[in-house]
Amino acid sequence: MGNYSPYLDISFGEIEVVKDPDILSCPGTDKDSLKVFKIKSRLNFPVYNFIQLINKILKKFYEKKIKNFKAFIISLDNLLDFYLNEEEIKEANNILEYKLFSRRECLVNLKNKIKIFQKLFNNLEKINNKEKKNFIKSVKTILEDDEVLNNNEINTFIELLTQIFDKNIFEEENILDENNSNILGGSNSNVLEDENLITQDLNDARIEEISNLSYKSNFSSYSKNSQHQIRKMEKEIERLKKLIKSNKND
């Protein structure tokens, strides 16, 4: 980055924080980097594009051009409050605030910043949808008011952020928990999509057991992708019921 502020990069499938050397004061110095976490496989998501937008935001942050950053902290606190105690939220705020560090400390601080959002992603199910929507709206407002990104970049960033908050970034989602996975022959099985499943011992009771799975939870709480998978499962169940009934009559 032009002002030598830290930024994010992808190296061999891992997100890392990077800081370029100050060429004027330290010629010949290599860039410094710290690995943060591995990217999960089977992502249906433009990770690199998202990171490039984050880097533009980070650049403005380190240049102190995000005037409404306090508003962002307050909005984020409303999400953190669902799974962190008061002291942990204060610690997170302290990490997120702008501070001057040495070269290495700057990287450690940015890594810790990213870890906060990684933990947020891991706890999204604990946060109600209204608060998530309010947070995304506040981010959009801050980006617009402080002109952090241009309009097209803001729309793209918000669209990608919404996908993340819906956890709709994976090519496949396992809509059943581990306790129910054995019913379908394992958590990695496609939900009743194999025509050969009918050769297994699918009696009426087992079909009914599978059918009830999709109704035990609040359907609207699932992501759009999960809802789609549930509908596919329900249609397949109906097809199997008809096929079993037909086989009995033969």
| DSSP-assigned states of every residue in 175-213 | -S-TTTGGGGTSTTS-TT--GGGGGS---HHHHHHHHHH
- Of 141, 165, 189, at which residue does a domain stop? 165
Q: How many CB atoms lie within 10 A of CB 42?
A: 9
pLDDT band at 173 (very low <50, low <70, confident <90, very high): very low
Same structural domain for residues 154 and 111? yes
Same structural domain for residues 239 and 206? yes
Q: Is residue 140 part of a domain?
A: yes
Given this model, what pLDDT does residue 213 score?
43
Q: What is the pLDDT of residues 68-90, one digit of tens each?
A: 999 999 999 999 999 999 999 99
Q: Is residue 47 part of a domain?
A: yes
- Of 139, 165, 191, at which residue does a domain stop? 165
Q: Which of 60-69, 185-194, 214-223, 235-244 has the highest mean pLDDT?
A: 60-69
| DSSP summary character for residue 169 | -
Same structural domain for residues 230 and 157? no
- Of 110, 137, 165, at which residue does a domain stop? 165
Q: How far is CA 144 from CA 45, 150, 155, 181, in A?
A: 24, 8, 10, 44
* Token output for 101: 């560090």
Number of domains in the chain: 2
Q: Is residue 174 part of a domain?
A: no
CA atoms within 13 A on the CB side of 47: 17
Helical H runs in the chain?
A: 47-62, 69-80, 86-96, 103-122, 129-145, 151-165, 204-213, 224-249
Same structural domain for residues 216 and 156? no
Same structural domain for residues 99 and 20? yes
Same structural domain for residues 135 and 185? no
Given this model, what pLDDT does residue 227 score?
55
Range from 1-10, 48-57, 72-81, 158-167 carrying the lowest mean pLDDT: 1-10
pLDDT band at 50 (very low <50, low <70, confident <90, very high): very high
Same structural domain for residues 114 and 185? no
Q: How far is CA 143 from CA 19, 66, 71, 156, 161, in A?
A: 24, 8, 11, 12, 13
Same structural domain for residues 232 and 161? no
Is the per-residue pLDDT at 40 higher than 70?
Answer: yes
Same structural domain for residues 141 and 212? no
Q: Tell me if the pTM is above 0.85.
A: no
Same structural domain for residues 201 and 238? yes
Same structural domain for residues 49 and 154? yes
Greater confidence, 179 or 122?
Answer: 122
In angstroms, the CA 229 to CA 202 distance is 20
Q: Is residue 75 part of a domain?
A: yes
* Residue range(s) defining the domain that contains residue 113: 7-165
Same structural domain for residues 133 and 187? no
